[in-house]
Amino acid sequence: MPASAGGTGDLLEGNPRYQKVQDLARGAFGFVVLALDRSTGEQVALKFIERGPQHINKYVEREIANHMKLRHPHIVGLREVFLTKTHLVLAMEYAAGGDLFRYAAARRGLHEDEARWFFQQLILAVDYCHRMGVTSRDIKLENTLLDGSPRPLIKLADFGFSKDANQHSAPTSRVGTPAYLAPEVVTNEPGKSYNAEKADIWSCGVLLYVMCTDRYPFRRPGDENLKPNQKLNAMLQRILKADYTFPPDKPLSKEVKDLISRILVPDPDKRPAIKEIQSHPWYLEGLNSAALSFNDTIVRESLATQPSPKVLVEVQAIVHAATRTEAAEQQSQGPAAAAEQRQQGAEEERRRGGVNPSESLDDLLVGQVMEDSFDML
Protein backbone atom coordinates (compact mmCIF):
# COMPACT_ATOMS: atom_id res chain seq x y z
CA MET A 1 0.00 0.00 0.00
CA PRO A 2 1.48 3.39 -0.91
CA ALA A 3 2.45 5.61 1.98
CA SER A 4 0.03 8.27 0.79
CA ALA A 5 -2.83 5.79 1.09
CA GLY A 6 -2.18 5.19 4.78
CA GLY A 7 0.30 2.31 4.54
CA THR A 8 4.00 2.28 5.21
CA GLY A 9 4.70 1.79 1.53
CA ASP A 10 8.35 1.74 0.46
CA LEU A 11 9.71 4.02 3.19
CA LEU A 12 12.65 1.65 3.70
CA GLU A 13 13.35 1.19 0.00
CA GLY A 14 17.05 1.65 -0.59
CA ASN A 15 17.91 1.52 3.10
CA PRO A 16 21.18 -0.43 3.34
CA ARG A 17 20.47 -1.85 6.78
CA TYR A 18 16.75 -2.50 7.31
CA GLN A 19 14.25 -4.52 5.31
CA LYS A 20 10.57 -4.33 6.15
CA VAL A 21 8.88 -7.56 7.25
CA GLN A 22 5.38 -6.39 8.18
CA ASP A 23 3.33 -3.61 9.77
CA LEU A 24 2.91 -3.90 13.53
CA ALA A 25 0.93 -0.94 14.83
CA ARG A 26 -0.43 2.49 14.01
CA GLY A 27 -1.52 5.35 16.23
CA ALA A 28 -1.49 9.07 16.81
CA PHE A 29 2.32 8.95 17.22
CA GLY A 30 2.89 7.39 13.79
CA PHE A 31 3.40 3.70 13.11
CA VAL A 32 5.66 0.76 13.92
CA VAL A 33 6.92 -1.87 11.50
CA LEU A 34 8.78 -5.11 12.03
CA ALA A 35 12.03 -5.09 10.08
CA LEU A 36 15.06 -7.28 9.52
CA ASP A 37 18.42 -5.80 10.47
CA ARG A 38 20.60 -7.08 7.64
CA SER A 39 23.79 -6.34 9.59
CA THR A 40 22.89 -8.65 12.49
CA GLY A 41 20.12 -10.89 11.14
CA GLU A 42 17.91 -9.78 14.06
CA GLN A 43 14.33 -8.52 13.91
CA VAL A 44 13.78 -4.96 15.15
CA ALA A 45 10.81 -2.67 15.64
CA LEU A 46 11.04 0.59 13.69
CA LYS A 47 8.94 3.44 15.03
CA PHE A 48 8.21 6.07 12.35
CA ILE A 49 7.30 9.61 13.44
CA GLU A 50 6.40 12.03 10.66
CA ARG A 51 8.78 14.92 10.19
CA GLY A 52 7.65 18.46 10.85
CA PRO A 53 7.13 20.75 13.87
CA GLN A 54 3.60 19.47 14.45
CA HIS A 55 4.94 15.96 15.09
CA ILE A 56 8.50 16.40 16.40
CA ASN A 57 8.17 18.18 19.75
CA LYS A 58 9.89 18.36 23.13
CA TYR A 59 8.46 14.99 24.14
CA VAL A 60 10.05 13.23 21.15
CA GLU A 61 13.45 14.74 21.93
CA ARG A 62 13.16 13.78 25.61
CA GLU A 63 11.98 10.28 24.71
CA ILE A 64 15.13 9.66 22.72
CA ALA A 65 17.56 11.41 25.08
CA ASN A 66 16.22 9.68 28.17
CA HIS A 67 15.87 6.29 26.54
CA MET A 68 19.48 6.40 25.34
CA LYS A 69 20.59 6.44 28.98
CA LEU A 70 18.84 3.19 29.84
CA ARG A 71 20.32 -0.28 29.31
CA HIS A 72 18.51 -2.92 31.30
CA PRO A 73 17.16 -6.44 30.67
CA HIS A 74 13.63 -5.27 31.53
CA ILE A 75 13.66 -2.13 29.39
CA VAL A 76 13.21 -2.15 25.63
CA GLY A 77 16.47 -1.12 24.00
CA LEU A 78 16.93 1.83 21.64
CA ARG A 79 19.34 0.76 18.90
CA GLU A 80 19.64 3.84 16.70
CA VAL A 81 17.89 6.93 15.36
CA PHE A 82 17.87 7.99 11.72
CA LEU A 83 15.98 10.08 9.19
CA THR A 84 14.15 9.23 5.99
CA LYS A 85 12.80 11.82 3.59
CA THR A 86 9.51 11.89 5.46
CA HIS A 87 10.06 10.42 8.95
CA LEU A 88 12.21 10.29 12.05
CA VAL A 89 12.82 6.60 12.81
CA LEU A 90 13.65 4.90 16.10
CA ALA A 91 15.14 1.43 15.70
CA MET A 92 14.21 -0.61 18.76
CA GLU A 93 14.47 -4.05 20.25
CA TYR A 94 11.53 -6.17 19.10
CA ALA A 95 9.33 -7.60 21.86
CA ALA A 96 7.75 -10.62 20.18
CA GLY A 97 5.23 -11.36 22.94
CA GLY A 98 3.14 -8.21 22.48
CA ASP A 99 2.03 -6.15 25.47
CA LEU A 100 0.86 -7.07 28.94
CA PHE A 101 -2.57 -5.52 28.41
CA ARG A 102 -3.47 -8.00 25.70
CA TYR A 103 -1.84 -10.85 27.61
CA ALA A 104 -3.86 -10.16 30.77
CA ALA A 105 -7.10 -9.38 28.90
CA ALA A 106 -6.93 -12.68 26.98
CA ARG A 107 -6.82 -14.48 30.32
CA ARG A 108 -9.45 -12.24 31.95
CA GLY A 109 -6.94 -11.31 34.58
CA LEU A 110 -3.94 -13.17 35.93
CA HIS A 111 -3.47 -15.54 38.82
CA GLU A 112 -1.64 -13.86 41.67
CA ASP A 113 1.51 -15.91 41.15
CA GLU A 114 1.81 -14.80 37.54
CA ALA A 115 0.86 -11.21 38.38
CA ARG A 116 3.59 -11.25 41.03
CA TRP A 117 6.14 -12.52 38.48
CA PHE A 118 5.43 -9.58 36.19
CA PHE A 119 5.19 -7.05 39.03
CA GLN A 120 8.55 -8.09 40.45
CA GLN A 121 10.15 -7.44 37.06
CA LEU A 122 8.30 -4.15 36.63
CA ILE A 123 9.53 -2.84 39.97
CA LEU A 124 13.10 -3.81 39.05
CA ALA A 125 12.76 -1.83 35.80
CA VAL A 126 11.22 1.21 37.51
CA ASP A 127 13.83 1.13 40.28
CA TYR A 128 16.57 1.15 37.65
CA CYS A 129 14.98 4.07 35.78
CA HIS A 130 14.64 6.12 38.96
CA ARG A 131 18.23 5.40 40.00
CA MET A 132 19.31 6.60 36.56
CA GLY A 133 17.35 9.81 37.13
CA VAL A 134 14.55 8.97 34.69
CA THR A 135 10.85 8.85 35.52
CA SER A 136 8.40 7.39 33.00
CA ARG A 137 5.15 9.24 33.82
CA ASP A 138 3.26 6.78 31.61
CA ILE A 139 3.57 3.34 33.18
CA LYS A 140 0.70 1.07 32.13
CA LEU A 141 -0.01 -2.42 30.84
CA GLU A 142 0.14 -1.31 27.21
CA ASN A 143 3.66 0.07 27.71
CA THR A 144 4.85 -3.14 29.37
CA LEU A 145 5.96 -5.49 26.62
CA LEU A 146 6.75 -9.21 26.66
CA ASP A 147 9.70 -10.99 25.10
CA GLY A 148 7.78 -14.01 23.81
CA SER A 149 9.56 -16.66 25.91
CA PRO A 150 7.51 -19.49 27.50
CA ARG A 151 7.62 -17.68 30.85
CA PRO A 152 7.54 -14.11 29.52
CA LEU A 153 9.98 -11.46 30.63
CA ILE A 154 8.76 -7.88 30.60
CA LYS A 155 10.29 -4.97 28.73
CA LEU A 156 9.22 -1.52 29.91
CA ALA A 157 8.67 0.77 26.92
CA ASP A 158 7.62 4.24 25.80
CA PHE A 159 9.50 7.13 27.36
CA GLY A 160 7.57 9.81 25.48
CA PHE A 161 6.54 11.62 28.67
CA SER A 162 9.67 10.82 30.66
CA LYS A 163 11.70 13.29 32.70
CA ASP A 164 15.39 13.27 33.55
CA ALA A 165 15.88 14.73 37.01
CA ASN A 166 19.48 15.61 36.12
CA GLN A 167 18.69 17.42 32.88
CA HIS A 168 15.14 18.76 33.05
CA SER A 169 13.18 20.97 35.40
CA ALA A 170 11.00 19.39 38.07
CA PRO A 171 7.86 17.75 36.59
CA THR A 172 4.85 20.05 36.42
CA SER A 173 2.83 18.87 33.40
CA ARG A 174 -0.30 16.75 33.75
CA VAL A 175 0.70 14.05 31.29
CA GLY A 176 0.03 10.35 31.00
CA THR A 177 -2.94 8.04 30.67
CA PRO A 178 -6.00 9.09 32.72
CA ALA A 179 -6.75 5.69 34.28
CA TYR A 180 -3.20 5.53 35.67
CA LEU A 181 -2.74 9.15 36.80
CA ALA A 182 -1.79 9.79 40.42
CA PRO A 183 -3.99 12.25 42.37
CA GLU A 184 -1.22 14.84 42.63
CA VAL A 185 -0.82 14.81 38.84
CA VAL A 186 -4.57 15.30 38.32
CA THR A 187 -4.72 18.31 40.65
CA ASN A 188 -1.37 19.85 39.81
CA GLU A 189 -1.44 23.52 38.90
CA PRO A 190 0.76 25.17 36.26
CA GLY A 191 4.14 26.09 37.65
CA LYS A 192 3.93 23.71 40.60
CA SER A 193 5.92 20.50 40.69
CA TYR A 194 5.21 17.01 41.96
CA ASN A 195 7.26 13.93 42.82
CA ALA A 196 7.32 11.97 39.56
CA GLU A 197 8.83 8.90 41.23
CA LYS A 198 5.86 8.63 43.59
CA ALA A 199 3.52 9.20 40.61
CA ASP A 200 5.20 6.28 38.82
CA ILE A 201 4.67 4.13 41.92
CA TRP A 202 0.94 4.95 41.92
CA SER A 203 0.76 3.83 38.28
CA CYS A 204 2.48 0.57 39.23
CA GLY A 205 -0.24 0.03 41.84
CA VAL A 206 -2.97 0.56 39.24
CA LEU A 207 -1.20 -1.86 36.91
CA LEU A 208 -1.05 -4.51 39.65
CA TYR A 209 -4.74 -4.05 40.43
CA VAL A 210 -5.69 -4.46 36.76
CA MET A 211 -3.56 -7.59 36.34
CA CYS A 212 -5.22 -9.22 39.34
CA THR A 213 -8.85 -8.14 38.75
CA ASP A 214 -9.21 -7.62 34.97
CA ARG A 215 -10.71 -4.15 35.57
CA TYR A 216 -9.60 -0.63 36.37
CA PRO A 217 -9.88 0.50 40.00
CA PHE A 218 -11.48 3.87 39.31
CA ARG A 219 -13.98 2.94 36.64
CA ARG A 220 -17.54 1.74 37.23
CA PRO A 221 -19.90 -0.19 34.93
CA GLY A 222 -22.36 2.71 34.88
CA ASP A 223 -19.72 5.05 33.47
CA GLU A 224 -20.43 3.68 30.00
CA ASN A 225 -23.75 5.56 30.02
CA LEU A 226 -22.02 8.91 30.57
CA LYS A 227 -20.76 11.34 27.98
CA PRO A 228 -16.99 11.16 27.42
CA ASN A 229 -16.17 14.25 29.49
CA GLN A 230 -18.49 13.15 32.29
CA LYS A 231 -16.96 9.68 32.23
CA LEU A 232 -13.44 11.10 32.49
CA ASN A 233 -14.41 13.52 35.27
CA ALA A 234 -16.10 10.77 37.29
CA MET A 235 -12.97 8.63 37.09
CA LEU A 236 -10.67 11.50 38.03
CA GLN A 237 -12.82 12.36 41.07
CA ARG A 238 -12.51 8.76 42.27
CA ILE A 239 -8.75 8.90 41.75
CA LEU A 240 -8.50 11.98 43.96
CA LYS A 241 -10.19 10.11 46.82
CA ALA A 242 -8.65 6.71 46.03
CA ASP A 243 -12.25 5.51 45.77
CA TYR A 244 -11.98 1.86 44.76
CA THR A 245 -12.91 -1.57 46.05
CA PHE A 246 -11.75 -5.11 45.39
CA PRO A 247 -14.34 -7.03 43.30
CA PRO A 248 -15.94 -9.95 45.15
CA ASP A 249 -15.83 -12.16 42.05
CA LYS A 250 -12.01 -12.00 42.01
CA PRO A 251 -10.81 -13.49 45.30
CA LEU A 252 -7.42 -12.06 46.23
CA SER A 253 -5.06 -12.77 49.07
CA LYS A 254 -4.96 -10.31 51.95
CA GLU A 255 -1.26 -9.77 51.18
CA VAL A 256 -1.78 -8.44 47.66
CA LYS A 257 -4.72 -6.35 48.83
CA ASP A 258 -2.48 -4.88 51.50
CA LEU A 259 0.24 -3.99 49.00
CA ILE A 260 -2.22 -2.37 46.58
CA SER A 261 -3.86 -0.46 49.44
CA ARG A 262 -0.49 0.87 50.57
CA ILE A 263 0.34 2.09 47.07
CA LEU A 264 -3.01 3.61 46.10
CA VAL A 265 -3.12 6.36 48.73
CA PRO A 266 -3.81 9.98 47.71
CA ASP A 267 -0.94 11.48 49.73
CA PRO A 268 2.31 10.77 47.85
CA ASP A 269 4.32 11.21 51.06
CA LYS A 270 2.48 8.21 52.52
CA ARG A 271 2.99 6.10 49.42
CA PRO A 272 5.76 3.51 49.73
CA ALA A 273 9.12 3.98 48.04
CA ILE A 274 10.52 1.26 45.80
CA LYS A 275 12.55 -0.25 48.63
CA GLU A 276 9.45 -0.53 50.81
CA ILE A 277 7.58 -2.32 48.02
CA GLN A 278 10.50 -4.69 47.62
CA SER A 279 10.37 -5.54 51.32
CA HIS A 280 6.65 -6.36 51.30
CA PRO A 281 5.88 -10.05 51.98
CA TRP A 282 3.74 -10.44 48.87
CA TYR A 283 6.48 -9.02 46.63
CA LEU A 284 9.18 -11.15 48.24
CA GLU A 285 7.36 -14.46 47.82
CA GLY A 286 9.30 -16.71 45.44
CA LEU A 287 11.88 -13.99 44.75
CA ASN A 288 15.56 -14.89 44.64
CA SER A 289 17.26 -12.72 47.26
CA ALA A 290 19.88 -11.75 44.67
CA ALA A 291 17.19 -9.87 42.76
CA LEU A 292 17.13 -7.18 45.44
CA SER A 293 20.68 -6.17 44.54
CA PHE A 294 20.25 -6.96 40.84
CA ASN A 295 20.26 -3.30 39.81
CA ASP A 296 23.36 -2.28 41.75
CA THR A 297 25.82 -3.59 39.17
CA ILE A 298 23.68 -2.55 36.20
CA VAL A 299 23.40 1.03 37.45
CA ARG A 300 27.16 1.27 37.95
CA GLU A 301 27.81 -0.11 34.46
CA SER A 302 25.19 2.17 32.90
CA LEU A 303 26.63 5.28 34.56
CA ALA A 304 30.09 4.31 33.36
CA THR A 305 29.04 3.71 29.74
CA GLN A 306 26.70 6.59 28.95
CA PRO A 307 26.52 7.84 25.33
CA SER A 308 29.42 10.14 24.51
CA PRO A 309 28.87 13.90 24.08
CA LYS A 310 29.59 13.47 20.35
CA VAL A 311 26.84 10.88 19.98
CA LEU A 312 24.39 13.04 21.94
CA VAL A 313 25.14 16.01 19.66
CA GLU A 314 24.67 13.85 16.55
CA VAL A 315 21.34 12.50 17.76
CA GLN A 316 20.17 15.94 18.81
CA ALA A 317 21.02 17.23 15.33
CA ILE A 318 18.96 14.42 13.77
CA VAL A 319 15.96 15.24 15.96
CA HIS A 320 16.23 18.95 15.22
CA ALA A 321 16.49 18.22 11.50
CA ALA A 322 13.32 16.16 11.82
CA THR A 323 11.37 19.23 12.88
CA ARG A 324 11.62 20.34 9.28
CA THR A 325 10.36 18.43 6.28
CA GLU A 326 12.78 17.66 3.48
CA ALA A 327 10.86 20.03 1.21
CA ALA A 328 11.27 22.89 3.70
CA GLU A 329 14.98 22.21 4.01
CA GLN A 330 15.46 22.22 0.26
CA GLN A 331 13.47 25.43 -0.06
CA SER A 332 15.60 27.23 2.51
CA GLN A 333 18.91 25.88 1.22
CA GLY A 334 18.42 26.25 -2.50
CA PRO A 335 18.77 23.51 -5.10
CA ALA A 336 22.56 23.20 -5.08
CA ALA A 337 22.91 22.99 -1.29
CA ALA A 338 19.99 20.58 -1.03
CA ALA A 339 21.48 18.29 -3.69
CA GLU A 340 24.85 18.34 -1.94
CA GLN A 341 23.23 17.51 1.41
CA ARG A 342 21.31 14.61 -0.14
CA GLN A 343 24.54 13.23 -1.61
CA GLN A 344 26.41 13.61 1.69
CA GLY A 345 23.53 12.03 3.58
CA ALA A 346 23.43 9.06 1.21
CA GLU A 347 27.18 8.54 1.49
CA GLU A 348 27.04 8.75 5.27
CA GLU A 349 24.13 6.32 5.42
CA ARG A 350 25.96 3.84 3.20
CA ARG A 351 29.09 4.17 5.30
CA ARG A 352 27.48 3.89 8.73
CA GLY A 353 23.91 2.76 8.30
CA GLY A 354 22.75 5.64 10.52
CA VAL A 355 23.80 7.01 13.90
CA ASN A 356 24.06 4.28 16.51
CA PRO A 357 23.77 6.11 19.85
CA SER A 358 23.57 3.14 22.17
CA GLU A 359 22.41 -0.40 22.64
CA SER A 360 19.09 0.36 24.32
CA LEU A 361 15.47 0.71 22.88
CA ASP A 362 11.98 2.21 22.89
CA ASP A 363 8.63 0.60 22.28
CA LEU A 364 6.63 -1.72 20.14
CA LEU A 365 3.44 0.25 20.62
CA VAL A 366 -0.14 -0.51 19.85
CA GLY A 367 -1.89 2.36 18.09
CA GLN A 368 -4.45 3.11 20.76
CA VAL A 369 -1.80 3.33 23.44
CA MET A 370 -0.47 6.67 22.29
CA GLU A 371 -3.96 7.95 21.69
CA ASP A 372 -4.74 7.26 25.33
CA SER A 373 -1.60 9.00 26.58
CA PHE A 374 -1.71 12.77 26.41
CA ASP A 375 -0.73 16.11 27.87
CA MET A 376 -3.81 17.31 29.77
CA LEU A 377 -2.76 20.96 29.65
Catalytic residue among 138, 158, 200, 372: 138
In whole angstroms, how far apart are CA 62 and each of 28, 56, 59, 172, 197?
A: 18, 11, 5, 15, 17
**Contact (Cβ atoms closer than 8 angstroms) between residue 371 and residue 142:** no
* Separation CA 206–CA 42 (nearest Å): 34
**Contact (Cβ atoms closer than 8 angstroms) between residue 37 and residue 21:** no
Beta carbons within 10 angstroms of residue 255's beta carbon: 16
* Separation CA 129–CA 166 (nearest Å): 12
> Can 138 be counted among the known catalytic residues?
yes
**Contact (Cβ atoms closer than 8 angstroms) between residue 129 and residue 135:** yes
3-state secondary structure of 295: helix
Buried/exposed code over 152-184 (b: 16+ C-beta within 10 A; e: otherwise): bbbbbbbbbbbbeeeebeebbbbbbbbbbbbbb
**Contact (Cβ atoms closer than 8 angstroms) between residue 307 and residue 70:** no
Task: Give the closest residue to 16 by CA, choosing from 33, 39, 50, 49.
Answer: 39
Q: Where are the alpha helices (DSSP H) in 96-227?
A: 100-106, 112-131, 183-186, 196-213
3-state secondary structure of 280: coil
Beta carbons within 10 angstroms of residue 62's beta carbon: 20
Catalytic residue ranges: 138
